[in-house]
Structure 1
C-alpha cells in the first residue's frame, strides 16, 4: 500500500476518536473497536492475509506408555474346538497316524477290488436289464395246453435283495412288478420285524386252467405272468405264513399292508378273504383289466 493512502487512512482514524464508545462500566455492550484499531486491522489483513482455518481436532486424553504397549499388542484368539478337544484328550492315549488309524483315509485296495467284482458278478447274473433282479434267461417257454407258454421268460432267484425259496419262471414284466412290490410293500411292512430275507414261493409257471377246473380259462400261471407267495422269512429266522399270520393280531396288520401294496403293480391280487383256494397264499399276476386292478 502507498504512503499517501496510509496517511489518509490515519487522518480519518484520528478524526473518528471522539466518536469512540463509552467505557464498559457505562454500557452493557462490549467495547467497540476503535477507528485506529480498525484501520490497523484492515492494513494488517491486506498485508498479511489470514491463513485458512484448520479443521477442528477432537481433544484426546494423553496417551501413556502402558496404553501404547497394550494397543500395539494383538488380541489373543479364543481357543478352537480342536484345541479344547485335544486338551481334554487323555495323555496316555497315543496319537495315531493315518496308517495306524482305525479309520484310514482311503479304502484298502483289496476291498475296492472285492466290491468291484461283487458288483460285476451281480451285473452278469441280472436279468431284464435290472441288477436288482437276479436270475437267468430262459427264452421261449412252450405249453402243453393251447394258450400256455411265454416269450422271453426268465428264471428269477432273487428280487431287490430278497431271495425266492425256489427259482420262479416268469416274464420280465412280472419280474419288474415283483421288484416294485418287494421294495414298496413287503420291506416297509416288515421293517419293525425284519428285514425280510426270503419269500416262500407256492407256485409260479405251470400250464393249467384257473383253479385246476376242467374247461376253465388258462390261468395266468400258464402264461408266466403270476406267482404265489405263502410266507415271508425274517433275518432272525422268524417265518410269517399267510395261513396262520392272517388270523393273528401282531402279523395281520403287516400282511394286510403287503396285500394292499400289491394292488397296483399287479393287475390281480387275491388273498385269504377272496375264496377258499387262496387261504394260505397271496396270488399276484400282471393281467390288466379295463376297470383297473382286481384286488380281493
Structure 2
C-alpha cells in the first residue's frame, strides 16, 4: 500500500497486507540556528568599506629620510640640466626654410628634388626630332649632373626615381654618388648615328646616357672600367638592373658594341614592357 493525499493505503507483500506508517517528524529541513546567522552578519559588518577598505597611511621610507638628512653642499649625482633636447635656434629654422624656398624656386616638373629650368618647345632640325615642354636638368635627388641635360619631364622624373631608389641603394650609404657623368642627352640624330636609321630617343628629349659616377670620396667610377672591376662590378650591375622599370629602355655594356662604355636610358614605350639588355 502507498500513501496518497494523507491517506494510508494497504500494500500486499507475500500475500499479506502490511500497513506503512507515516513519518513521525516533518521531512522539511530544520531552520538554521540563530548564532551562525549572527556571526555572518558580524563578518559582513567587519569588512564594510568604512572600516577596512580605506588605505593605510604609508610609513616614511628610508630613502626619504636619507634625502632629508643629506648635506646641502654635497655634489649632486643627477644631471644638472634636463636631458630633453633644447629647442632649435630660430636661425637654423630660417636657414632650412630659406633653402627649401630656394629649391622650390629652382625646381621643375613640379618636383622639388628635380632642379633645373624650363626650356619649353625644342624645335626640330629634321623630321621626327624636337620636344614639347622640355626642361634643362641640373640635379636630381640631390645628385648633380656633370652638364645640364635637356629632356622631357617624364624622362627627368624617371631619372630622379632611379637615382633615389636604384642608384644610391646600389652604392650603399657609406660612399654615395654625388654626381652623374652625362655622356649624351638631347641631340637630333638617328639611332647610334647610323645613316638611314630611325630617329633616336635622344632626338625626342626622352633619353640620357650616363658614363660614370663620382662618389663622396671623390673617386670616379666609369661604366667602361667599373663594369668588370672587382670592387664595383656588383654595384654597377645592380644599379643598371634597377633602371629597368623607371625607364622603358635600358642598355649597358653587354647590350652591343655601341654601349660598352655607358648606360643608355630612355622612356620609350614597348608593347611587351621594358626592354633591358
Task: Give the TM-score, by structure 2 length.
Answer: 0.73
Question: Secondary structure in 2 aligned to 1:116?
Answer: helix
Map of 2:265 onto structure 1: 284
Map of 1:150 onto structure 2: 131
CA distance in 2, matches of 1:129, 1:202: 26
Match of 1:205 among 171, 174, 186: 186
Is 1:227–1:285's contact at 8 Å kept on the other side of the alignment?
A: yes
Match of 1:74 among 58, 63, 78: 58
**2:256 is aligned with 1:272:** no
Matched ranges for 1:147-186 at <5 A: 147-186=128-167
Closer, same or farther: CA 174–74 of 1 in aligned 2, 3 Å:
same
**Higher Rg:** 1
CA distance in 2, matches of 1:144, 1:173: 22
CA distance in 2, matches of 1:291, 1:75: 82
Output one character per residue of 1:97-146: Cα deviation in whole Å (capped at 9) or x when no partner.
Answer: 57xxx975321111111111111111111100001111110100112121
Question: Secondary structure in 1 aligned to 2:118?
Answer: strand
CA distance in 2, matches of 1:77, 1:252: 68
Is 1:193–1:234's contact at 8 Å kept on the other side of the alignment?
A: no
Match of 1:261 among 226, 242, 261: 242
Question: Secondary structure in 1 aligned to 2:157?
Answer: helix
Task: Give the length in aligned residue pairs.
Answer: 224
Closer, same or farther: CA 167–75 of 1 in aligned 2, 3 Å:
farther
Match of 1:238 among 202, 219, 226: 219
Output one character per residue of 1:248-273: Cα deviation in whole Å (capped at 9) or x when no partner.
Answer: 12211111111111111111111001
Closer, same or farther: CA 96–113 of 1 in aligned 2, 3 Å:
farther
CA distance in 2, matches of 1:290, 1:248: 35
CA distance in 2, matches of 1:166, 1:190: 22
Closer, same or farther: CA 110–215 of 1 in aligned 2, 3 Å:
same
Match of 2:117 among 127, 132, 136: 136
Closer, same or farther: CA 227–73 of 1 in aligned 2, 3 Å:
same
Closer, same or farther: CA 73–126 of 1 in aligned 2, 3 Å:
same
Unmatched tracts of structure 1, length 5 or more: 1-49, 60-70, 84-89
Closer, same or farther: CA 172–97 of 1 in aligned 2, 3 Å:
same
Question: Secondary structure in 1 aligned to 2:138?
Answer: strand
Map of 1:54 onto structure 2: 38
Closer, same or farther: CA 53–248 of 1 in aligned 2, 3 Å:
closer
More helix by share: 1
Match of 2:91 among 110, 130, 150: 110
CA RMSD of superposed structures (Å): 2.9
CA distance in 1, matches of 2:76, 2:61: 28
Map of 1:66 onto structure 2: none
Structure 1 stretches of 4+ with a deviation exceeding 4 A read: 50-53, 56-59, 75-79, 92-98
More strand by share: 2
Question: Secondary structure in 1 aligned to 2:127?
Answer: coil
